[in-house]
Amino acid sequence: MKYEELAKQILENVGGKENINSVFHCITRLRFKLKDESKANTDVIEKLDGVITVVKSGGQYQVVIGNHVPDVYSAVLAVGGISADGEGGGNDEAKGSLFNRFIDMISGVFTPVLGVLAATGMIKGFAALFIALGWITDQSGTYQILYAIGDSLFYFFPIFLGFTAMKKFGGNIFIGMAIGAALVYPTLAGVLAGKPLYTLFSGTLFESPIHITFLGIPVILMTYSSSVIPIILAAYFGSKVEKGFKKIIPDVVKNFLVPFCTLLVVVPLTFLVIGPVATWAGNLLSAFTLWIYHLSPIVAGIFLGGFWQVFVIFGLHWGFIPVVINNLTTKGFDPVLALTFAASFAQIGAVAAVMAKTKSAKLKSLGIPAFVSGIFGVTEPAIYGITLPLKKPFIISCIGGAVGGAIIGLFNVNSYIMGGLGIFGFPNFIHPKNGVDATMWGVVIAVIVGFIVTFILTYLIGFKDQTDPIAEKPVETQVETLIEKETLYAPLEGQTISLAEVSDEAFASGALGKGTAFVPTVGKVYAPASGKIATLFPTGHALGMETNEGAEVLIHIGMDTVQLNGKYFTTHVKQGDQVEQGQLLVEFDVEKIKAEGYDITTPMVVTNYTNYLDVIIQENGKVAVGEHVLTLVI
């Protein structure tokens, strides 16, 4: 198996199989739901060959892989003995803020179907393109079959979402599918087309013709094909009802009586209450988003186009998915996602400029696959591999995306399907009946201008170019740098021991870096060198600093002391502060921490040790603050 070793390392460093509630993947990321994120060795995972970076967002631990994520995902399942049934969330409860739980729910429901949704959308787009070009007619068998393929998922969307939503909410997936199938049952659709018995709420926004009743109660029939919100709410309600029946129905008949009772309760209630209310809510949501858009399409384009890549980084773009799909289902078009289309092309404009200007062979080699991926709308390799680490190119790419979004807003562009990304996304803007119109030129102009603006600004403004490894430098330079060194001094008073003696495997194995450890006798931590506080945990138990010479140093006070939540710790600096060697950073109560049952051993490691020829450790023994303990050979 090609990715077996990578899968093993990822599983080991997320805390093992036993720390995983669920795992699934999107286009570029493995999305873990971990029982305890503190057990994950993020620094280690980020350094693995084949991993771009790690993102923690929306209650998920996201390992960004790139284009090979489906293969890595399969290897993770195989190596870990994890069932693919966990894809989507399972029974785990989302933690964190309400917003995080919402993002987690949306991603869990929609991610499993996004690939097929994009594929079928592209087929519908190409069918519309073929008609516009005069290659086929809408009466031909070729068109009808292509359209059937493209429309199949969207028409029966409630069935697919019934599956994914019920899985996400921890219920029986087949009950979810049955609820979705009932919503699109053809006979009820035929009843809806007939003459109504009478009308409710006449003359109001909620005016509804009544075609049938259930036990004498009027049923407000809606068109649920392609709908999103009703089935998600119905699945959530169904999962709760199912769990209730499981508690009271005897095991001997539970297999069939639980679905029997659940469907008899949930489906009628969905038609009577959940469906109509959800549909009205969806119509209001669609009207509201379009109202905001029409206030100023250009301003909306600047905002969404400029910040879209930022939303992608933090996983916040999931919040737009239900809005977009709801617009497509209720209005037949969506202007929101269209505004972001130029952002990916702006991103590769920045990558192209970096490749053209950099002298680093490493950056050039990273740029080629990142550029190719970006052409097809997958920008994570470009963001995490090139533009974000270089900072300025990423900011400029956001400016380019904003310019492209403004142009798209100016042309009032709509997307009519949720299809492909990148160059495969152009069919999204072909009108199903009118074909290619003037707004398509707005898309083309936005993409070209966004790319060119980003390329020129990145090339002219520039960036801090990376230097290649020592092996690529001239021999004369290597001889000079071999004699350079940096010294790190003891940050606290006590006894030094080797990292191998530390109880935490991540430190003991050297996975987090090379260095030494202290058994402190005095609870005061001082700066081991002059530099900047790069990271300071709110709990005060750990900090990272970048020395003036470039060493990245992690000091972790005690083992598992994060669980004290800051108790017994007092910080004297804040993140971003410049400090001098010997300056007091943190105070902690040694005896009280030990009394709580925690190991007070404090490792100090150089996390970027691979940038050095060697990390030389002084002999273990009693040490005072300010004594020489580590030598970094450059």
Report which residue type is found at 134.
G
The vertex-363 CA angle with 465 and 46, nearest 5°, equals: 100
Query: Percentage of the chain surpassing pLDDT 70?
Result: 85
Amino acid 317: pLDDT: 64
- Which of the two residues, 460 and 59, has the higher pLDDT score? 460
**pLDDT tens column, 196-222:** 766 766 665 556 677 778 888 877 777
- 542 SS3 class: strand
Give Cα separations from 515 to 496, 612, 616 (angstroms). 11, 13, 8
- 544 SS3 class: strand
Amino acid 87: pLDDT: 42
Q: What is the CB-side half-sphere exposure of residue 522 using CA atoms within 13 A?
A: 13
**pLDDT tens column, 557-586:** 998 888 888 899 999 999 889 999 999 999
Amino acid 64: pLDDT: 82
Top-confidence range, 199-208, 304-313, 319-328, 525-534: 525-534
* Sign, CA torsion 382/384/387/390: negative
Amino acid 24: pLDDT: 81
Amino acid 342: pLDDT: 92
Contact between 401 and 308 (Cβ < 8 Å): yes
Alpha helices in 81-140 (DSSP H): 98-132
Amino acid 420: pLDDT: 67
Amino acid 481: pLDDT: 36
Mean pLDDT of 620-624: 85
Mean pLDDT of 522-529: 94
Amino acid 568: pLDDT: 92
Return the percent helix, strand and coil in the chain, to nearest 5: 55, 15, 30
Instruction: Note the pTM of the prediction, 2 decimals.
Output: 0.50
Residue 314 — pLDDT band, cuts 50, 70, 90? low
CA pair distance 239, 374, nearest whole angstrom = 39
| DSSP string for 289-305 | HHHHHHH-HHHHHHHHH
Of the candidates 55, 26, 25, 29, the one whose C-alpha atom is nearest the C-alpha of residue 118 is 26
Mean pLDDT of 44-61: 81
CATH superfamily of 485-633: Glucose Permease (Domain IIA) (2.70.70.10)
CATH number assigned to the domain covering 3-84: 3.30.1360.60
Neighbouring-strand partners of residue 213: 218
Mean pLDDT of 37-41: 89
Amino acid 150: pLDDT: 82
CA pair distance 565, 490, nearest whole angstrom = 26
CA pair distance 479, 419, nearest whole angstrom = 56
**pLDDT tens column, 65-110:** 876 788 888 889 888 888 665 443 444 445 555 656 666 677 678 7
Enter the DSSP assignment of 330: H
Q: Evaluate if residue 472 carries a pLDDT over 90.
A: no
Mean pLDDT of 130-135: 79
Amino acid 227: pLDDT: 74
Beta strands 53-57 and 524-526, pairing class: unpaired
- Which of the two residues, 512 and 405, has the higher pLDDT score? 405
Q: What is the CB-side half-sphere exposure of residue 359 using CA atoms within 13 A?
A: 7
Q: Which of 382-391, 450-459, 484-493 has the lowest mean pLDDT?
A: 382-391
- Which of the two residues, 32 and 377, has the higher pLDDT score? 32
Backbone Cα Rg of the chain: 29
Catalytic positions = 26
The size of the chain, in residues, is: 634
Top-confidence range, 185-199, 455-469, 487-501: 487-501
Amino acid 564: pLDDT: 87
Contact between 229 and 284 (Cβ < 8 Å): no
Q: What is the largest CA-CA distance in the chain?
A: 93
CA pair distance 89, 165, nearest whole angstrom = 9
Residue 346 — pLDDT band, cuts 50, 70, 90? very high
Mean pLDDT of 621-634: 86
Give Cα separations from 592 to 60, 164, 483, 561, 568 (angstroms). 34, 49, 45, 12, 7
Amino acid 478: pLDDT: 38
**Residue 507: how many other CB atoms lie within 10 Å:** 24
Q: Which of 217-231, 306-320, 512-526 has the lowest mean pLDDT?
A: 306-320
Mean pLDDT of 457-478: 61
Question: What are the boundaries of each domain within the chain?
Answer: 3-84, 101-292, 296-461, 485-633
Amino acid 282: pLDDT: 64
- Which of the two residues, 144 and 327, has the higher pLDDT score? 144
CA pair distance 163, 174, nearest whole angstrom = 7
Amino acid 21: pLDDT: 85
Residue 492 — pLDDT band, cuts 50, 70, 90? very high
**pLDDT tens column, 234-259:** 999 999 999 999 889 888 888 889 99
Specify the residue for token string 């509630």: 21
